[in-house]
Amino acid sequence: MRGTFVLAVVIALLALLPLGFVFWATAVTGWETASQLIFRPRVGELMTNTLLLVLFTVPLAILLATSLAWLTERSDLPFARVWSALCVAPLAIPAFVHSYAWIGLWPGFHGLPVGIAISVTAYFPFLYLPISAALRLLDPALEDQAASLGLSDKAVFRRVVLPQLRLSILGGGLLVGLHLLSEYGLYAMIRFDTFTTAIVDQFQSTYNGVAANMLALVLVSCCLVLLGLDAGLRGSRRYARIGSGVARGARKTSLGRLRYVCMLLPLAAIAFALGIPAVTLTHWLIAGGSNIWRMDEIGLALGQTLIICVVGGIATTLAALPVAWLSVRRPSRGSRIIEGCYYLASSMPGVVVALALVTITVRVALPLYQTVATIVLAYVIMFLPRALISLRSSIAQVPAELEQAAASLGRSPVNALWSTTVRLAAPGAAAAVALSSLGIMNELTATQMLAPNGTRTLAMAFWALTSEIDYAGAAPYALLMVLFSLPMTALLHHQSKKIAGR
């Protein structure tokens, strides 16, 4: 128990390294240099870009996702289940593949409006998933009650349904916001400058440590503002359903003659989020013919990617295990704080994590520079919460009494844990490995900056080829990434339905 706690604390400290590094770097730089590097027109420009991107994309994505969720969950939209699955499917496509697809169709596209459009299509599923799950879980008795108090259907939605979706909207909105701040490939491809693209450029061109570090400071501040906003708006209240009893199925609103007109919305969303990537990929795959299938290179990249995904996924899951166990079996203030550290650390953009680990390894532990160990640590920091969520829910399903029974039959604590809880939570652990592996497979920024020399993952190869404007050559890599992500996306969709008891 004590050992587990210490282990969890050590992992938390490791996870907080990048955040600590940014503040340490600022302190070392000194206020004068720092302010010179921070308060300059270039940073103002990046700030404007980033702010506008977030301010437009997040509300638009919320609007789109809420409308789609309502249509698929609460109306008699034709083929609602199909639309629901299709609205989650874009998650299988890495963000930079989305912009690759758009550029393939419209080569001249660049700038803020395009950035917003691609971001909304690439990220709305992050909002659709929790909002539709929440709509399924809402107690319809509350809506009946509101109707009996004289509210029309529209008023019921505004005054009863929407307030209860707040947590899902905030959670999904935060996730989208953090993605916007940390995404590199999507915006680099359409030549739209954000803090992340600027830091990567800085790092690649001059390895100008101080300037990049100061940009990272501003980026981290943006992330912290987002996290603070979310915490402030969220409040400490949870809207638990009060009382007991089995809720009856939700009432579906009849769209009447508008049924088929309303189908235009999911149709348009899917056309952009799935149709455009499908068209572009098919186009390049056909245009490229068999020449683009250079099996030796593709095979090598695939092999390396799978190895790094499995190693990273297992490491992330193992790192999540101590705190997952603590938070279920021995929840305390301490375990909650540790958990909070993981979430905070993982909301740091990949570029900041990579920058920190590069600088730290170069300065303090040179033998670790550009090794598998360092890049795996980066993945652990970035994807630990994904593993944590799966692990925790599956551990929570194993009754603690089983562990106690094993102990009373003479097993040592570790042995008891292993032979009961770990065994029974194995499916959850597998899901944890799968979810973090998926993240790793599609990760580009940190992988580029940290990967050992000679490494070429699918994402890296894809990126290198598109940088050479070899769009056809990049297509097989994009296809492979999508194909590998599909089962994982299906799993997510399935889980969100299972939560709602279906």
The residues binding other proteins (CB under 8 A) are: 139, 141-142, 144-153, 155-156, 159-160, 163-164, 166, 237, 239-245, 251
* Between 31 and 239, CB nearer to other proteins: 239
User: What's the rounded Cα separation, in Å, for the pair 488 and 495?
Assistant: 11
Torsion over CA: 392, 398, 404, 408 (sign): negative
CB of 231 to other proteins, least distance (A): 18
Q: Read off φ and ψ for residue 253, nearest 5 degrees.
A: -80, 135
Tokens read off for 475: 């297509």
* Between 147 and 311, CB nearer to other proteins: 147
* Between 145 and 412, CB nearer to other proteins: 145
Q: Which residues is 75 bridged to in the sheet?
A: 253
* Between 240 and 295, CB nearer to other proteins: 240
* Between 241 and 294, CB nearer to other proteins: 241
Look up tokens 């030796």; give the residue.
Answer: 296
Amino acid letter, 1: M
Tokens read off for 419: 């032979």
CB of 454 to other proteins, least distance (A): 55
Are 428 and 447 a contacting pair, CB within 8 Å? no
* Between 142 and 422, CB nearer to other proteins: 142
Tokens read off for 45: 């420009």
User: What's the rounded Cα separation, in Å, for the pair 230 and 175?
Assistant: 10
CB of 172 to other proteins, least distance (A): 18
User: What's the rounded Cα separation, in Å, for the pair 119 and 303?
Assistant: 30
Rounded to 10°, the helix 31-38/17-29 angle is 110
* Between 148 and 205, CB nearer to other proteins: 148
CB of 153 to other proteins, least distance (A): 8
CB of 344 to other proteins, least distance (A): 27
Are 60 and 118 a contacting pair, CB within 8 Å? no
Tokens read off for 4: 């587990």
Which long-range contacts link 284-291 to residues 24+ away (Cβ below 8 Å)? 284/104, 284/471, 284/472, 284/474, 284/475, 285/472, 285/475, 285/476, 285/479, 287/472, 288/472, 288/473, 288/475, 288/476, 291/472
* Between 247 and 286, CB nearer to other proteins: 247
CB of 243 to other proteins, least distance (A): 2
CB of 141 to other proteins, least distance (A): 5
* Between 112 and 147, CB nearer to other proteins: 147
* Between 147 and 229, CB nearer to other proteins: 147
Q: Which 8-state DSSP code applies to residue 75?
A: B
Look up tokens 């003659």; give the residue.
Answer: 257
User: What's the rounded Cα separation, in Å, for the pair 384 and 369?
Assistant: 22
CB of 59 to other proteins, least distance (A): 21
CB of 154 to other proteins, least distance (A): 10
**What is the DSSP secondary-structure string of 91-122?**
GGS-HHHHHHHHHHH-TT--SHHHHHHHHHHH
CB of 147 to other proteins, least distance (A): 4
